[in-house]
Structures are given as C-alpha cells and as structure tokens.
Amino acid sequence: MPGGFASAGDGINLPAVLIANGIGFCLMLIIQFNRHQRLESATIDEKLFCLMCRICSVLCVAETVSFLLDGRQFPGAAALLRVSNAMLFALCVLFTFFWVLYVDYKLFEDRERLRRYYPLAAIPAAVVVVLCLVNLGTDVFFGLTQENVYFRTPVVAVVYLVGYLYLIHGAALVLWYRRQVQKYLFMPVVLFLLPILAGSILQYLFYGLAFLWVSTALGLTSLHINLQNERFFLDPLTNLYSRAYLIRYLGALPERRKTKQVTGLMMDVNHFKLINDHYGHLEGDLVLREVGSLLQRAAGRHAMAARYGGDEFVILLEDAQEEETEALCRRIEEGMEQLSREMERPYHVSLSIGVAQLTGKSVDSFLWEMDRRMYENKRAFYSAETQKKEG
C-alpha cells in the first residue's frame, strides 16, 4: 500500500529512496527480459504476471518522483505531485486485484470463471481508481499544503483496506483450493506476501524511507524463481511432477528422515503404441492427460504422482501400510475402468502396475525393481488377452 511522505527537507532520505526503488525497478526489468515467451502467445497467467511486473516498475518510478517533488515549489510541481501520488494509489490497488486474477487462473485455468466472478470483485478497485481521478482536483485520499507538502486524509484507510483484502483473498484461494483442484503449484504465497506486508508496514511507520515497492519487487522475484522451478519440475502435458522432480525427491529422502519407508507404483499404459499408431499422437496425448488427471486424484494429498517418461507414471507413498497400497491400486484400476467407459473410444485404456519398496535399496535399484514388476504385470496382461482371444 502507498506509504506516507514528509517534506523534502524533513526526514526523507533521498539516496536511500533512489537505491531502494532503483533496485526494485532493475529487478522488474531483469524478470521481464528473462521471460522467454512473447507476450502475444503467452497464457493468461503469464500475461498477468508480466502486467504485475510492469505495474511494479511504474510504481517504483512514481514513488521516487513523489519523494523528489515533495516540498518543491516550481511551476507545475503541485500538479505533478498530485498525478504521481494518484498513480501510486490507483496502481497499487490494481496490482493487488491482478494478483487475485493471477492466482485464480493458476488454480482453475478457466477464462469463463474469471468472466463470471471477477467483474463484481473488480468494483472496489474501480471505485478506488475513480476516487484517485477525483483526487486530482480535490482532496480525497491525500492533499497538498501551500508549501506543496503531501499529507494523507483519513479516507486513505479505504485504499489500505481494499488492497489488503485482495491480497488476503488471493492467499485464501491458494490455501483453500490447491488441494481440491489437485494441482501441483510452485507458488509459495508466504514468500510472495511477507515482503509486501512487511514493506507496507515499515513504510507506514517510517516516513521518508522507501520500503514498499522494493519489497514488492522481491516478492515478485521470489514468485518468478518458483515459476521457473514449476517449468522444470512439472510435466507440461499431464501437470504431474516431472522425472527430474521425482529423482530429486527420492534423493532428498535420507536428509528428511533416515528411517523413511517408501512404496512406489510404476505404471504403463497398455497398447499405448497402438493408440498412437491407429488414432494419432494427439489422441495419445489426450489419453496421457486423462490418465495423469486420474492418477493425481487417486494419489490425493498423501502421495506424489509423477510422469516418469512416455506413457510411464510413478506414484510414491511414504510410510504406507500394505492395505493402503492395495487400496490405491484398486482405486486406480476402478478409475481406469470408469475412464474407459466415459471416454467412449473404440479402444480400452488400462494400466500395468509394478509395486516395490525403497527400504534397503538404492534409488536406481528401487526404480529398476518397480519397472521389472510392472513388465511382469504387463506380460501377464498380454498373455491373458491372447488366451481370451484364442478361447
């Protein structure tokens, strides 16, 4: 949220302001140059993220200009100071609103949901923006003394309230829905929000220092780093964890708990090559996405599902009893039967499953054992299928 300002000669540390906002501005430039996709072909969440970075860049500049103009008296200084502070309040609230849109789309990837719910949610932000325009002519959120010194009015609490409500709403969406929608998100809300909350509080308490927008830039930088991890550790087709994350996860187990028992299920789609050959790779991709979604739901919050490669998948369970593993296998098999019925395709989709324990084995041996048992199951499946045809 925008902080308060004192007069240019009364407590403002201009070098500190320039350094802080300069750092924030440079961080935003680096992130925007580091985005690989062209904005025209980017997804909605990527466009929203870039928009937030651009708003933060503008806010770093606008706040610096406001500090530099505060208490200065020359033709046009008062008008420029009003414009820069009105921009700070308006863009601040828009930034928090775009954060909510970003979170919602990351969770649901549903444009219609955005159109359905967020026109109403945008009303508080729109009201603040209109009042900021009014503030260009008369004091609403802030005013200027005859010496061109900025001061806030009691109505400024509205801006803080709206901005914080949007931030809290975005955090609540992630915490409440990330499990329900069964999506893996590398979006640490705490690491994003804490710098912003700390910066806004510090700027409110200490006039003359610029904490907020460099803190926001740090939050966006943290989010950017985790989005890069998401690209690396999530399979883009199925949205399951990638093989790279699976290997990293297994390698980190000894550091987390030395006596950890891990049960692994490796699965392979039966007749997948025939599906690709007869119906095309787009159809094969559709099968993989639907199988991945099913495995994600079956694994739930207490297991980790990954795409191992091609049409092979792995689910890991920690400290699971034998009956839990058997129940998971049943859920998967029943889910595959239901999936085949719902897909209404001229082929039947099924999985061969191999189960192994990590205890006492190296990671490579563990993966090899799962693979071996999976192919035993696959051979049995094909043998039974052949016998059924011959009979």
CATH number at residue 161: 1.20.1070
Q: Say yes or no: 179 and 254 in one domain.
A: no
Q: Say yes or no: 203 and 252 in one domain.
A: no
Q: Say yes or no: 247 and 168 in one domain.
A: no
What is the separation of C-alpha 136 from the centre of its chain, rounded to a whole number of angstroms? 36
Q: What percent of the chain has pLDDT above 70? A: 89
Position 6 confidence tier, pLDDT thresholds 50, 70, 90: very low
CA gap 384, 186 in Å, rounded: 43
Q: How many distinct structural domains can be found in the chain?
A: 2
Q: Say yes or no: 217 and 324 in one domain.
A: no
Phi, psi of 355 (to 5 degrees): -115, 135
3-class SS of residue 318: strand
Q: Say yes or no: 104 and 228 in one domain.
A: yes
pLDDT reported for residue 5 = 35
The CB-side HSE value for 48 (13 A sphere, CA atoms) comes to 20
Q: What percent of the chain has pLDDT above 90? A: 48
Position 118 confidence tier, pLDDT thresholds 50, 70, 90: very high
pLDDT digits (tens, 9 = 90+) for 206-233: 766 678 888 999 999 988 888 777 778 8
The answer as to whether 9 is a domain residue is no
Position 377 confidence tier, pLDDT thresholds 50, 70, 90: very high
The CATH number of the domain where 288 resides is what?
3.30.70.270
* CA distances for 217 relative to 60, 84, 191, angstroms: 9, 19, 12
- 28-67 exposure pattern, b = at least 16 Cβ within 10 A, e = fewer: beebeeeeeeeeeeeebbbbbbbbbbebbbbbbbbbbbbb
pLDDT reported for residue 8 = 39
The answer as to whether 256 is a domain residue is yes
Q: Say yes or no: 222 and 287 in one domain.
A: no
Higher pLDDT, 391 or 291: 291
Higher pLDDT, 77 or 226: 77
Higher pLDDT, 345 or 165: 165
Residue 320 predicted with pLDDT over 60: yes
The answer as to whether 6 is a domain residue is no
Q: Say yes or no: 205 and 342 in one domain.
A: no
pLDDT reported for residue 177 = 79
Contact call for residues 354 and 370 (beta carbons, < 8 A): yes
CA gap 256, 360 in Å, rounded: 16
The answer as to whether 1 is a domain residue is no
Q: Say yes or no: 291 and 219 in one domain.
A: no
Residue 222 burial (C-beta neighbours within 10 Å; 0-12, 13-18, 19+)? middle
Q: Say yes or no: 183 and 63 in one domain.
A: yes
> Both ends of the chain: CA-CA distance in Å?
75
Ranges 6-15, 121-130, 266-275, 324-333, most confident: 121-130
> Which residues form the domain of 47?
14-233
pLDDT reported for residue 297 = 86
- The count of residues in the chain is 391
The answer as to whether 238 is a domain residue is no
Q: Say yes or no: 213 and 287 in one domain.
A: no
pLDDT reported for residue 186 = 63
pLDDT digits (tens, 9 = 90+) for 177-211: 776 665 666 667 777 888 888 888 877 677 666 78
Q: Among the three residues 206, 233, 260, which one is the final residue of a domain in this structure?
A: 233
Residue 9 predicted with pLDDT over 60: no
pLDDT reported for residue 37 = 54
Q: Among the three residues 233, 255, 284, which one is the final residue of a domain in this structure?
A: 233
Q: Among the three residues 233, 256, 271, which one is the final residue of a domain in this structure?
A: 233
